[in-house]
Amino acid sequence: MPLTRMYWIHALSPVHVGAGAGVGFVDLPIVRESITGWPVIPGSAIKGVLADLHGASDPQNRSAEARAAFGVAGEDHASSGSLVFSDARLVCLPLRSFYGTFAWAGSTMALRRLARDLEACGVQVPGVPNTDSHALVCQGSALVGGDYKVYLHDLDLPARTEDLASRWAMLVSEALFPNNADPWREVFSKRFVILPENEFNALVESGAEVVARVRLNDEQKTVAKGALWYEEYLPAESVLAGLVWCDRVFQGGNGLTPQSLMQTFCSGARQLQIGGKATTGKGFVRCVFGGNHA
């Protein structure tokens, strides 16, 4: 079994990892999984950003560790690197809520897929509860009103307090906010909700952020002809997770080991810019690495 570790992506601003030209009214859509339609951040994007952070994309970089971890280009002895990143898949989508301002919404299928990845890292996970058309919330949830319903976007669902929801909220919040004293742990737990599959899928379809962009005519200060387009973004506060692993060290290694590469490049928390539109403040995320399984 290769050395395996979780990584978590917490969007601090809207994120645009583009899929090219759109086929609907959205001209620049984000990447989505073909089987679920859920937003996803490709592992290649994560790896590329980390490679750039550590200077591995600089042809003048002579760091043996960075070259071994992220690879080298060129015709001779080219390598894609020793670190392998899976795609970061959706765990929680932030949704506007009548109570509590917004919710971090997951689903039973999202949790089942997350549980499979966590188990690959040797993490013990809670069971996945049955929603039974209810929205499952933690004890003391900020999302429910006096009628004990949740109101997300234009959808309302009966709520039910569920111990497994609290356990999942604790697991995810501790991974996202490793500092034991971080108040965001409690904020997350009070706003975590597990939705039924159909309702979650519908909200994921409509919950992405779509922004109109224009280019102005400098002289007239009006929209230039043909310069109006629509861009799609993964909303701020979105939570995604994936796996990174290393089973051997390429490029000769020079005494390097999978353990040393993972410790150097895949530990702790980092602030990154992922995807396009960086000059407009998009793509700012926290990348937090979890524990590993050897």
pLDDT of residue 35: 93
CA 54, 58, 63, 66 torsion-angle sign? positive
Give the whole-angstrom CA distance, residue 76 versus residue 79. 9
Q: Is the pLDDT of residue 167 over 60?
A: yes
Q: Is the pLDDT of residue 222 over 80?
A: no
As a whole number of Å, the CA-based R_g of the chain is: 21
Give the whole-angstrom CA distance, residue 115 versus residue 45. 23
Beta bridge partners of 192: 104
Higher pLDDT, 39 or 210: 39
Beta bridge partners of 230: 212
Q: Is the pLDDT of residue 214 over 80?
A: no
Domain-by-domain residue ranges, the chain?
A: 1-17+43-86+236-294, 91-207
pLDDT of residue 285: 97
Q: What letter represents residue 139's amino acid?
A: Q
- The reported pTM is 0.91
Q: Is the pLDDT of residue 77 over 80?
A: no
Mean predicted lDDT score pLDDT of the chain: 89
With cut-offs at 50, 70 and 90, classify the pLDDT of residue 127: very high
pLDDT of residue 62: 67
Q: Which position has the token pair 């951040």?
A: 41
Higher pLDDT, 145 or 213: 145
Q: Is the pLDDT of residue 170 over 70?
A: yes
Lowest-confidence segment of 66-70, 126-130, 176-180, 285-289 by average pLDDT: 66-70
CATH 2.40.30 fits 1-17+43-86+236-294, yes or no: yes
pLDDT of residue 135: 97
Give the whole-angstrom CA distance, residue 76 versus residue 185. 48
